[in-house]
Structure 1
Amino acid sequence: MTRPDMALFLAMTAGSSPTPWLLSIASALARFGPWLSAVVMLWAGLRQRDERGYLLALLCMAAIGSLAAHALASTLGYSRPFMLGLTPSHLAHGGSDGLPSTHATVMGLVAFGMLVRRPLRRYGLAAMALALATGWARIHVGVHFPLDVVAGLGLAAALLTGFLVVQWQLRVRLGASAAEPVVLPPAPSAIAPSHREKPLP
């Protein structure tokens, strides 16, 4: 199977003769990178109380991103490198299809989501570093092609854009509703009293 990123993959993967110390680092990142990203998100929530609602919404978006990535990978049907016999898998993994990478989608959503918020930007930088490092690690251990990771980050950016657009529209609508003047019925005292008829002589 010919892929446009084949040469890059062969340069990045551990292959049949891995460097032991580098493979150990890659294996640890491939397994625990998402958990480290979750720790960054939790730390951001503890330090930035005003952003907790946004972080909770971002967590929900990450769950949606995971489902979207799985569905898209099943539809596209691009196999993982070890499934094609290009390299041994240095990480125990099932036989699901690999494009886009679910790890890159979820971790990218978390990172991009925090980068677009000024109070969360420094946490977003840490989360993005973890996302990129984990993407490299999963290529190195043979469970993803580089394009799988790029596609996952692209899907994350698209989903986050949709989420921000919906959030902006809700704010505009709620703001417009709050700005509309409330028309109240006139108070009874403001109603002009009716003229009583004079008694006939």
Structure 2
Amino acid sequence: MESLNQTLFLWLNAPEHPGALTLMVAISLAEWFIWTVPLLIGIGWLRGSENTRKTMLVATASGLLGLLINQVIGLAWSHPRPFMIGLGHTLIPHVADSSFPSDHLTLWWAVAFSLMLQRGPRIAGIGLALLGIPIAWARVYLGVHFPLDMFGAAAVAAISSWLTLREVRWYLEPSYRLASGIHHRIFGRLIALGWVRE
């Protein structure tokens, strides 16, 4: 399996001197698109109904659980990144920690899968899930992940989104009350002006 992982990596990894446009697109996908997740959740919370806000909380819980599962996996089994074993070309800096599964894609897909499993924003979830594929390519292309790290991320994301939806009765209402209290405290003036939804 490791031999296949490395072979696929070398097939997808960037050449030593990639084209400027391809490099720019890959870096944008790999490093900047992740900010779409908190932006989407923030907009959904600030402008959405109570149901939308609860959907965003479940998606947030899914992402956080996925990252927690990744930490446990990384502690139990530390898998080196390609540059840690001198494989391929690395075109962006990255800390030398465990590569499996990808935190980036776990967070992305955990939120996407959560939205897909819930009633309201399924189209947004499908769009995010599909956009995760070029992000996964970019992380491998730039040399910071192996292909199997992405399959691991998808598996963890699927588990975390399923678990957080299955156990929603245990945490959603208290977390919604807490988040609503913080929301009113921070945005009280903007709510009064009608710029932010109550």
TM-score by length of 1: 0.76
Moved more, 104-113 or 37-46: 37-46
Which letter maps to 1:17? Answer: H
> How far is 1:30 from its partner?
0.9
Deviation digits for residues 178-200 of structure 1, max 9, x if unmatched?
A: xxxxxxxxxxxxxxxxxxxxxxx
CA RMSD of aligned residues (A): 2.3
State whether residues 90 and 142 of structure 1, in contact with CA within 8 Å, keep that contact through their aligned partners in structure 2.
yes
> How far is 1:46 from its partner?
4.7
State whether residues 40 and 127 of structure 1, in contact with CA within 8 Å, keep that contact through their aligned partners in structure 2.
no
3-state DSSP of counterpart to 1:4:
helix
- Report what 2:26 is aligned to: 26
State whether residues 106 and 156 of structure 1, in contact with CA within 8 Å, keep that contact through their aligned partners in structure 2.
yes
Q: Unpaired runs of 5+ in structure 2?
A: 173-198
> How far is 1:33 from its partner?
1.8
3-state DSSP of counterpart to 1:136:
helix
Larger Rg, first or second structure (1 or 2): 1
Bigger fraction of residues in helix: 2
Which letter maps to 1:129? Answer: L
- Report what 1:185 is aligned to: none
Deviation digits for residues 126-172 of structure 1, max 9, x if unmatched?
A: 2213322221110110000110011011011011112222237999x
Identity %: 28
- Matches of 2:32 and 2:101 in 1, distance apart? 19
- Report what 2:195 is aligned to: none
Deviation digits for residues 100-137 of structure 1, max 9, x if unmatched?
A: 11111111110000011232012112221332222111
Following superposition of structure 1 onto structure 2, how do residues 114-153 of structure 1 map, counting pairs within 5 Å?
114-153=115-154
- Matches of 1:34 and 1:17 in 2, distance apart? 25
Which letter maps to 1:111? Answer: A
The structure-2 alpha-carbon separation of the partners of 1:81 and 1:26, relative to structure 1 and needing over 3 Å to count, comes to: same
- Matches of 2:43 and 2:165 in 1, distance apart? 22
- Matches of 1:144 and 1:73 in 2, distance apart? 14
Which letter maps to 2:158? Answer: A
Following superposition of structure 1 onto structure 2, how do residues 62-141 of structure 1 map, counting pairs within 5 Å?
62-141=63-142
May I ask how many residue pairs the two structures share in their alignment?
A: 171
Q: Unpaired runs of 5+ in structure 1?
A: 172-201
3-state DSSP of counterpart to 2:3:
coil
